[in-house]
Chain A
Amino acid sequence: MNIIIPGQYPRSEALVAATRQFDRKQLTAERLKVIIKKDEEDFKNLQSDFAYRSTGLFQWQDLLRPFVEIIDGAESGSLKRFYETNLFWRELKCAGKWQIKSTLLDEWINKWFLPERLYEESDPMIFTLPFLYLFRTFAKVSLNDAATIIKIVAERLTAFCNKALCFIEPTIGWKQLTEEEKKIGISLLKEIRKSARGPVFFCTAFFSIENEKDFLYELPVDGIGIDFFANSTKVLKQFPTDQILLAGVLRTDSTSIETPEQLNGFMKVLGDEMNSESLYFMPSGIAELLPRVTMDAKLEALKEFACNCIR
């Protein structure tokens, strides 16, 4: 089924309560692990027919936080608003040179990307990484240093077989990028894609991409994610024919569950330009902006629609 859910999936109410208790030392680490495992299993089951499945990143606090462990001298800093949402991430700080501790990389990847006994090594999975401009927004780092860090991690992740890599990048449409910044981004993706064994996706969110279409459609990736609550399908006029459209059709700033009429409506406004193999569905922004129960219900509605769509 052509649905992907990259990034952090919302924690269940039980896990929210458990982490709170754990932080207050009212719950043991072992018990917390069990509850996390349950969230992971439930989310895995929800994605059983998906082309690529995500772990849900239930242990992650934000997409930059794990990098504290792998960048020499890095630490978490003050809170910073995640674009124009009410979610806050911590800035990543580093006193010295921004450098990956390469000896720890394998262990780090196992810990953060491959939760124990959740998936087999050959299972189709989707990994998520912050892209360059997002990374720079939340870390006091030069774009070139950020590119080096992302490249090292991405190349390791894309060496696994049967895995897709999804870059999250809401900066597109939020902040104007210079030509030099764009060049660094394109060059990074070229490098990563050269050796990647699976597809590389690039997902925008929250903002109109109208003014950045040329740059976006030029990116050397296999699929591009567009938020269709921030964009009309008019932006697809020059969409590259050899790429997958990752259509953000589950609204992450509303708890209304998308109806078959709304999703059919999307297919109508999309027209005949996209064949079903080049079309994946996904949330419009990031899934964890919604409560778990709501996101699960939205996903079920989308699955039902996607099933009928294929038939």
Chain B
Amino acid sequence: MQLHPLTTHEIGSLAKPTWRVKAFSGVPLDTVDLKVAQDWGDRLNIEGRDQLFKILAKKKDFSKEDKATILHFSSLYATRLLEQAGLDLLWDGEQHRIEMYEHVIQHITGFVCRGHVRSFDNKYYAKASCVKPPSCPKPLHIEEYERIKHFTKKPIKVPISGAYTLVDWSFDECYSAEMVPGMAGIRDLSQAGRNQFLMDMAEGVIYPTLKGLLNKGALFLQIDEAAATTKRSEIPEFIETTKRSIGDLAGKAFFSMHLCFSEYARLFPAIKELEGIVSAIHLECANRDSLQLGVNATERTGYEILKLFKDTQFKIGIGVLDVHTDYIESPELIRDRILYACDVLEDPERIMVAPDCGLRTRTWEVAYTKLQNMVKGRNLAAIQLGLPL
């Protein structure tokens, strides 16, 4: 589980190719979709791709077996894309999953989807209600891991949606349904119900998943907790949920945690309780940063937050690519972001390099170019720091 300084990885998701999306949603493929499959297949030198082309040539009415093959290739393509971009830790861009919330909810028990609610603008997401204590019939993501590990010799990092985020993004009809509005102690009662929900999700879903993956040989496990700082008063609950999720597995794998678009200052000092349990914390920084070159605080505004983490024992994953824009960060800009981070933390061994979040909203062309530049930028920084490439 040793990682070299400035280890690179993608956070989790990539866009799904149109030929995979359309095949699964029953929309007929067109010649552009076939060309995309052909072009990326050639570019990534995907072995056995003729089998995929043969199936896609049908354009519609794909059988269950066809879809399984399409999914296999979608996963292989995405893994290769990350590998050929030069990343150190790999995954398949979550090609097996709908997205980080709905996929999990569909594969565990205790939830019913209630409809769509707004996330922002005209973007909505399917939100489920917990109707009985959550549990998972079998550990999540095992099949994905088993498949992807045969695609590459590089180490695999499995992203897993965290218990706190899954709870925070769900409604609750199980733990505090009977409350009378305005009753005495209503806030405490509500919090007690929520705490139980959190613990059940941690112990009933996430712990068995982490354990299952560990038993299959997965040594890099990333817990995604986008919602960690949503509720100011619940940082202790978030910390406790993480402890329960990992439990006695601490030290047996490299556990990292991805926290994006969060108010990081709220995590202190409580997050220090996770030292020795979680090895790395990955942060979103590029979104907050300027595009100017330079290694001073004036240019590197997005990396000021690293000062908060300086006196912790965590490795720190820094986001160097903004995932919400097609702007291609130059290797030099990425280099400077890394060098500044090294300067703040005073130890390149503690730094990992990644995009701010999953690149699912970018095209493969944009994502690939951004990631290639990320690796080039990492190498430029390594040279400047006298580190091995």
Contact status B190-A291, CB under 8 Å: no
Q: Give every chain A residue within 8 A of B18 (Cβ-Cβ).
A: none
Contact status A291-B127, CB under 8 Å: yes
Contact status B173-A233, CB under 8 Å: no
Contact flag A288-B117 (CB < 8 Å), given A255-B173, A256-B177, A266-B181: yes
Q: Give every chain A residue within 8 A of B127 (Cβ-Cβ).
A: 291
Q: Give every chain B residue within 8 A of A23 (Cβ-Cβ).
A: 122
Contact status B182-A293, CB under 8 Å: no
Contact status B116-A16, CB under 8 Å: yes
Closest B residue to A79 by CB, please name it: B120
Asked whether any CB of chain B lies closer than 8 Å to the CB of A123, the reply is: no
Q: Give every chain A residue within 8 A of B190 (Cβ-Cβ).
A: 229
Asked whether any CB of chain B lies closer than 8 Å to the CB of A311, the reply is: no
Contact status B121-A61, CB under 8 Å: yes
Neighbour of A81 across the interface among B115, B169, B230, CB < 8 A: B230
Q: B197 to nearest A CB, angstroms?
A: 11
Segment of A85-93, A143-151, A157-165, A178-186 in the binding face? A85-93
Q: B229 to nearest A CB, angstroms?
A: 9
Asked whether any CB of chain A lies closer than 8 Å to the CB of B64, the reply is: no
Q: When chains A and B are docked, how far (Å) is the Cα of A13 from the Cα of B183? A: 34
Q: When chains A and B are docked, how far (Å) is the Cα of A228 from the Cα of B190? A: 12
Q: When chains A and B are docked, how far (Å) is the Cα of A253 from the Cα of B187? A: 13
Asked whether any CB of chain A lies closer than 8 Å to the CB of B349, the reply is: no
Q: B99 to nearest A CB, angstroms?
A: 14
Contact status A228-B186, CB under 8 Å: yes
Asked whether any CB of chain B lies closer than 8 Å to the CB of A251, the reply is: yes
Contact flag A262-B176 (CB < 8 Å), given A291-B115, A294-B115: no
Contact status B124-A87, CB under 8 Å: no
Contact status B124-A248, CB under 8 Å: no
Asked whether any CB of chain B lies closer than 8 Å to the CB of A95, the reply is: no
Give the one of A230, A232, A233, A262 with max B CB within 10 A.
A232
Contact flag A232-B186 (CB < 8 Å), given A87-B120, A288-B118: yes
Asked whether any CB of chain B lies closer than 8 Å to the CB of A231, the reply is: yes
Neighbour of B171 across the interface among A10, A11, A253, A288, CB < 8 A: A253
Q: When chains A and B are docked, how far (Å) is the Cα of A254 from the Cα of B117? A: 12
Q: Give every chain B residue within 8 A of A10 (Cβ-Cβ).
A: 117-118
Asked whether any CB of chain B lies closer than 8 Å to the CB of A109, the reply is: no
Contact status A293-B115, CB under 8 Å: yes
Q: When chains A and B are docked, how far (Å) is the Cα of A128 from the Cα of B147? A: 53
Q: Mark B192-232, 1 if CB is under 8 A from A, else 0.
A: 00000000000000000000000000000000000100111
- The binding surface of chain A is classed by DSSP as mixed
Neighbour of B180 across the interface among A247, A266, A291, CB < 8 A: A266
Q: Give every chain B residue within 8 A of A261 (Cβ-Cβ).
A: 180
Asked whether any CB of chain B lies closer than 8 Å to the CB of A249, the reply is: yes
Q: When chains A and B are docked, how far (Å) is the Cα of A99 from the Cα of B329? A: 37
Contact status A86-B179, CB under 8 Å: no
Contact status A262-B120, CB under 8 Å: no
Q: When chains A and B are docked, how far (Å) is the Cα of A144 from the Cα of B171? A: 38
Q: Mark B97-111, 1 if CB is under 8 A from A, else 0.
A: 000000000000000
Q: When chains A and B are docked, how far (Å) is the Cα of A236 from the Cα of B177? A: 24
Closest A residue to B234 by CB, please name it: A84
Q: When chains A and B are docked, how far (Å) is the Cα of A122 from the Cα of B260? A: 49
Neighbour of A256 across the interface among B115, B120, B173, CB < 8 A: B173
- Per the 8 Å Cβ criterion, residues 326-381 of B in contact with A are none
- Per the 8 Å Cβ criterion, residues 189-223 of A in contact with B are 208
Contact status A228-B117, CB under 8 Å: no
Contact status A234-B117, CB under 8 Å: no
Contact status A262-B116, CB under 8 Å: no
Asked whether any CB of chain B lies closer than 8 Å to the CB of A140, the reply is: no
Asked whether any CB of chain B lies closer than 8 Å to the CB of A20, the reply is: yes
Asked whether any CB of chain A lies closer than 8 Å to the CB of B185, the reply is: yes
Q: Give every chain A residue within 8 A of B177 (Cβ-Cβ).
A: 254, 256
Contact status B115-A248, CB under 8 Å: no
Q: Mark A1-39, 1 if CB is under 8 A from B, else 0.
A: 000000000110100100110110000000000000000
Asked whether any CB of chain A lies closer than 8 Å to the CB of B168, the reply is: yes
Q: Give every chain A residue within 8 A of B179 (Cβ-Cβ).
A: 229, 251, 262
Closest B residue to A87 by CB, please name it: B118
Contact status B178-A262, CB under 8 Å: yes
Q: A63 to nearest B CB, angstroms?
A: 12
Asked whether any CB of chain B lies closer than 8 Å to the CB of A290, the reply is: yes
Contact status B115-A13, CB under 8 Å: yes
Asked whether any CB of chain A lies closer than 8 Å to the CB of B114, the reply is: yes
Contact status B230-A86, CB under 8 Å: yes
- Per the 8 Å Cβ criterion, residues 230-265 of A in contact with B are 230-234, 247-249, 251, 253-256, 258, 261-263, 265
Closest B residue to A236 by CB, please name it: B182
Q: Give every chain A residue within 8 A of B173 (Cβ-Cβ).
A: 254-256
Q: Give every chain A residue within 8 A of B180 (Cβ-Cβ).
A: 261-262, 265-266, 268-269
Q: When chains A and B are docked, how far (Å) is the Cα of A247 from the Cα of B182? A: 9
Q: Give every chain A residue within 8 A of B25 (Cβ-Cβ).
A: none
Contact status A13-B116, CB under 8 Å: yes
Contact flag A270-B171 (CB < 8 Å), given A61-B121, A86-B227: no
Contact status A232-B116, CB under 8 Å: no
Q: When chains A and B are docked, how far (Å) is the Cα of A253 from the Cα of B194? A: 11
Contact flag A293-B114 (CB < 8 Å), given A232-B183, A247-B181, A253-B171: yes
**CB<8 Å pairs between A and B, sample of 24:** A20-B122, A20-B124, A61-B120, A86-B169, A86-B230, A87-B117, A88-B119, A89-B120, A208-B187, A229-B190, A230-B187, A231-B187, A232-B182, A232-B184, A234-B184, A254-B176, A254-B177, A256-B173, A261-B180, A269-B180, A269-B184, A291-B116, A292-B115, A294-B114
Q: A13-B116, A87-B120 are in contact. List 20 more A-B contacts (CB 8 A).
A: A19-B122, A22-B122, A23-B122, A61-B120, A84-B230, A84-B231, A86-B230, A208-B187, A228-B186, A229-B179, A232-B185, A247-B181, A254-B171, A254-B177, A255-B171, A262-B180, A266-B181, A266-B182, A291-B117, A292-B115
Interface, chain B (partner A; CB < 8 A): 114-122, 124, 127, 129, 168-169, 171-173, 176-187, 190, 227, 230-232
Identify the 4 closest CB pairs spanning chains A and B, nearest first: A291-B115, A265-B180, A228-B181, A88-B120
